[in-house]
Amino acid sequence: MKNEVGCFVVNLEKDVERRENISRQLEKAGIPYTIFSAVYGKFLTPEELAQHYDKRRAIELSHDLTPSEIGCALSHVFTYRKMLEEGMQYALVLEDDAQLSEDLPAVLSGLQREYASSEPVVFLLNHVRKYKNRKTRRLDEKYMVADIYGTPIRANGYFVTRAAAKQLLDNLYPVWAVADDWAVFNRDFVTVKAVVPYCVGLSEHAQFSNLESERQGVQLKRSIGYHLHQLFYHKFINQLLIRPFQRVSKQDETW
């Protein structure tokens, strides 16, 4: 089967400098890649939104997604579809503001060696602040795979198996969650793990993210029920009854 391992870079056509930056890094690393034209959420018509976005479910979960969040989520979902259509067993998914470690090719080889494509697992290669230091699996002397803890965000760099891509596509389209709601995905339909230490950081382009500026106002839109759940679960149940038994470790964000 050709192209068993793929790499997709999610990039808006207008963002030429970002595209050139990530392309240089991948070429230096010797990783073949495809530039995947991202969905510009602000340009979606009402008819396209009705087709691709489940507004009711989004509000029930958390909040009405912003146009940029919808476009980002669709872009990632469509990479899963493309991966499956092309018969890929694994895929590296990157956003165009990613900064790659020189160790990335070795990490990808280790993940393919240790995990079958039939296992529905997503491996976060970007920074995860907290992880469970139990039942970790070594990739080599430097890197290990651990279970996530809490609500890690960011989708600027992750590795997905074919089985996980199918689960993500089946459960996330029409979109109703942001692309990096990993805690929810891990709870409901895939296993999400973190590679520690992380090997995909953020380039200088990340500070100009339109998505992040929109997200700053999202907290104000969330329902009272959402905030009460977060307070009750994370401040009471999780902190007092669960976390003490899970051997949680923190990861510094500096390389």
- pLDDT tens-digit readout, 125-179: 999 999 999 889 999 999 999 999 999 989 999 999 999 999 999 999 999 999 9
Residue 113 pLDDT exceeds 80: yes
Beta-ladder partners of 157: 94
Under the banding of pLDDT at 50, 70 and 90, the label for residue 255 is: confident
Residue 122 pLDDT exceeds 70: yes
Q: What is the mean pLDDT of residues 77-104?
A: 98
Q: How far apart are CA 162 and CA 157, in angstroms?
A: 16
pLDDT (0 to 100) of residue 87: 97
Q: Judge contact between 153 and 180, C-beta under 8 A.
A: yes
Q: Exposure of 205 by Cβ count < 10 A (0-12 exposed, 13-18 middle, 19+ buried)?
A: middle
Q: How far apart are CA 102 and CA 61, in angstroms?
A: 38
Q: Please count the residues of the chain.
A: 255
pLDDT (0 to 100) of residue 227: 52
Residue 215 pLDDT exceeds 90: no
- What digits encode the pLDDT tens for the residues 11-60? 999 999 999 999 999 999 999 999 999 999 999 999 999 999 999 999 99
pLDDT (0 to 100) of residue 1: 42
* Average pLDDT for the chain: 90
Report pTM.
0.88
How far are the Cα atoms of 95, 131, 197, 230, 255 from residue 252, in angstroms, in the given order? Answer: 21, 12, 9, 24, 8
The fraction of the chain above a pLDDT of 90, given in percent, is 78
